[in-house]
Amino acid sequence: MHHRRSSSTLLGVVVLAATLAAAVVTSLGPTAPTANASPTGSKKVIANLFEWNWNSVASECRNFLGPRGYGYVQVSPPQEHVKGQQWWVAYQPVSYRIESRKGSRAQFQSVVNACHGAGVRVIVDAVINHMSGQDNPGTGWAGSSYSHYDYPGNYQYQDFHHCGRNYNDDIVNYNDRYEVQNCELVNLADLDSGSEYVRGKLAGYLNDLLSMGVDGFRLDASKHMPAGDIAAIEAKLSRPVYITQEMMYSAGEAIQPAEYTGNGDVLEFRYGRDLGRVFRHEKLAYLNNFGQPWGYLPTGGAGVFVDNHDTQRGGGDVLTYRDNATYALANAFMLGWPYGTPTVMSSYEFSNPDQGPPSDASGRTDNATCFSGGWRCEHRWQVIANMVAFHNAVEGTPMVDWYDNGNDHIAFGRGDKGYLTINGEDYAINGRRYFSNLPAGRYCDVIHGDFTNGSCTGPVITVDSGGWFQVDVRAHDAVALHVGAKVG
């Protein structure tokens, strides 16, 4: 959803194309997710390749996401949209043709095929609450004519809400349920999702994507549609898919995230805000029960992230790629901690909040070349990419053996499959021994080294027969071990 119209350690180092892990990619097979469940199987981490074009997504699935263990790729809205250079034009549909500045229908089909071939499922960011926010008639990216309440072949005036409030039909009072779900979000033409005709058109768009092999949807602006309307649209889908719903939380608002859990996962916006605040200003020791005890949704129905395309433009305590080592540490915690389904953000640099992705003069999105041309590719940072394998290795295990020093040094295990310690202090923690449930052996520290073909490019840590190991942890750094990166 859009809100506008128109360190000094190795953690801060972005590593180019780390050596690919020697894991065999699992087939898609019978583990396809359902509309009412979190992603299934051992590979649940989602990479959000925000505003990447289709050729680049296909290449990234083959060359990095699949080999490194990402389970899903989330792609930006693929439908025809209004013209413009800003990022948010992709969230203003004018038709349901699969033709956008990111590529053609044929190129999008190639994305699905390539990602499936690499063992990566595809989630589409689906804009179904509204159409465009343009007051004047125009022509969309692929040549479709439209006006604010007229989209030939799709919708006319009667297919939209006209709430008759605030002089311009815009939402003003978020404590008023009717207004939030029947007025316009920053002038965007609000579809009447209670209409059977509209529901049929929206399901038709989603089913078209399903016919191309798509595996799930992120439903944009879900707060602005009654949960029952979303359920009615889901009921028209041709097959079960993974659903996650964008539902920004604000205390005291009329509409709350728990209303939507019956439709699928709900994105837990509180998670990233709180995690950023703790890493910036508070004690990491506070994270010993992070998740549902903080008032969040149950873990099985929550989608979590350090930042996304909205929150990284919203300021406050949210961590972004600009925070370098701290950002990497926060992602390491997210990928190591047993709560929710994590999404890793992959950004491009921007100097103003409206700025679109690197593009040519016509607005067509450039190919994504990681770590150059403005593409930040956080999903490839060594710490983050290696912690995806950690997440896969510890799937289904509980948090055990929590330790903290009462301040900014924490450590915990994940059953007998993994162990993570994070030192947020301004000084090194040297000579300390850690108790884990890990089997005895030699382990690659995946924070500082890549594990490939049974060997490690970084430090190797020995765990003794009692589960103990000793390691020095530098200031604002971490160490992570897991059974999938056992040396020799």
pLDDT tens digits, 202-214: 999 999 999 999 9
CA distance 186 to 5: 7
The length of the chain in residues reads 488
Right CATH number for 399-485 from 2.60.40.1180, 3.40.50.150, 2.70.98.60, 3.20.20.70?
2.60.40.1180
Domain ranges within the chain, ordered by starting residue = 10-394, 399-485
Q: Which of the 8 DSSP states describes residue 364?
A: P
- Phi and psi angles of residue 314, each rounded to the nearest 5 degrees, phi first: -100, -5
* The pLDDT value given to residue 251: 85
The one-letter amino acid at 206: L
Nearest Cα to Cα of residue 145 among 82, 98, 208, 78:
82
| Chain segment 131-182, per-residue pLDDT in tens | 999 999 999 999 999 999 999 999 999 999 999 999 999 999 999 999 999 9
| Chain segment 224-249, per-residue pLDDT in tens | 999 999 999 999 999 999 999 999 98
* The pLDDT value given to residue 42: 75
Percentage of the chain surpassing pLDDT 70? 92
Average pLDDT value for the chain:
92
Nearest Cα to Cα of residue 337 among 283, 376, 281, 395:
395
CATH code of the domain made up of 10-394: 3.20.20.80
* The pLDDT value given to residue 227: 98
Other C-beta atoms lying within 10 Å of the C-beta of residue 221: 21
CA distance 84 to 41: 39
Q: Is the pLDDT of residue 358 over 80?
A: yes
Positions marked catalytic: 220, 246
Query: Are the CB atoms for 246 and 267 separated by under 8 Å?
Result: yes
Q: Is the pLDDT of residue 6 over 80?
A: no
Q: Is the pLDDT of residue 4 over 50?
A: no
What are the structure tokens assigned to 388, written together?
Answer: 């995806």
* The pLDDT value given to residue 25: 32
CA distance 247 to 114: 30
* The pLDDT value given to residue 249: 86
* Of 394 and 250, more confident: 394
* Of 4 and 479, more confident: 479
Q: Is the pLDDT of residue 12 over 70?
A: no
* The pLDDT value given to residue 250: 85
Over residues 416-421, the mean pLDDT reads 98
DSSP 40-104: PSS---EEEETT--HHHHHHHIIIIITTTT--EEEE---S-B---SSGGGGGSBS---S-BTTB-
Percentage of the chain surpassing pLDDT 90? 90
* Of 314 and 380, more confident: 380
- Give, in order, the Cα–Cα distances in Å from 65 to each of 81, 112, 329, 377, 380: 27, 13, 20, 12, 9
* The pLDDT value given to residue 20: 29
CA distance 294 to 421: 22
The band of 8, judged by pLDDT with boundaries at 50, 70 and 90, is very low
| Chain segment 259-315, per-residue pLDDT in tens | 999 999 999 999 999 999 999 999 999 999 999 999 999 999 999 999 999 999 998
* The pLDDT value given to residue 315: 82
* The pLDDT value given to residue 488: 84
Q: Is the pLDDT of residue 35 over 70?
A: no
